[in-house]
Structures are given as C-alpha cells and as structure tokens.
Amino acid sequence: AQKITQTQPGMFVQEKEAVTLDCTYDTSDQSYGLFWYKQPSSGEMIFLIYQGSYDEQNATEGRYSLNFQKARKSANLVISASQLGDSAMYFCAMREGIEDSNYQLIWGAGTKLIIKP
C-alpha cells in the first residue's frame, strides 16, 4: 500500500486563483510529521511547510497553508493567490515513527502545477 498518495498528477490553475493540492497518507504511528516541497523545473527541492501530527492548528507559511484532517489522514496544501512562479512539481512527504528514530522521508509521486496567465 502507498504510504503517501497524491491523486492529481497535473493541475492547471488560473493566475491569482487559490489552488488545493491533495495528499493522503497511511501510517499507524501516533507521532509523525508531514511536509510539502516544491521542485521547480531547475530541479532543486524547496521546503514549503511542515505539520506535526500533534499540532492542533493547521500550519501556515505566507501564501501556503496546510489543511490537516487527521481523522481522514489528509494533509492538503493550499496556495492562495497563485502566481506564475508557483508553476512546479509539488511533493508531499511524511516522516513516521519519530519515536522509533525513523529518519527517512517517504514521498508521494508529486503533482505538476501549471499556473496560466
């Protein structure tokens, strides 16, 4: 079974609109962390936002927010007022088993977001 599922391989969004990128995860651990990264066409991997499993509030970082629904095991990324520079691949990742010293990030397949002018 997939640990991280991103169901949208690609999305087209009009500039200045808000966009939601879906991510669902599968873990039996109580303590885990969820991350979103952006990968532009140049290839680097840019950290966007973090949500801990015990965090009661949704994480926000500027135009990025994370819609964390723990019972549904979803951690959707919301980008408000999209810009042309937001065009990129977006990856959802999880670090589970934190209390067992599990270090690796497990990655989804990514969503390619294209912002239309």
Residues near other proteins, by CB under 8 A: 31, 33, 35, 37, 42-47, 50, 52-54, 91, 93, 95, 98, 101-110
Give min distance, CB of 15 to other proteins, in A.
Answer: 27
Distances (CA, A) of 31 to 10, 28, 34, 63, 90: 30, 9, 10, 26, 23
Q: Nearer Cβ to other proteins, position 25 or 37?
A: 37
For the record, the structure tokens of 72 come out as 């549904």
The number of beta carbons lying within 10 Å of the beta carbon of residue 65 is: 19
Cβ atoms 106, 96 nearer than 8 A = yes
Give min distance, CB of 70 to other proteins, in A.
Answer: 14
Give min distance, CB of 21 to other proteins, in A.
Answer: 16
Q: Nearer Cβ to other proteins, position 46 or 81?
A: 46
Give min distance, CB of 39 to other proteins, in A.
Answer: 9
* Strand positions, DSSP E, 27-103: 32-39, 46-52, 60-61, 64-69, 74-79, 88-96
Q: Nearer Cβ to other proteins, position 11 or 109?
A: 109
Q: Nearer Cβ to other proteins, position 15 or 99?
A: 99
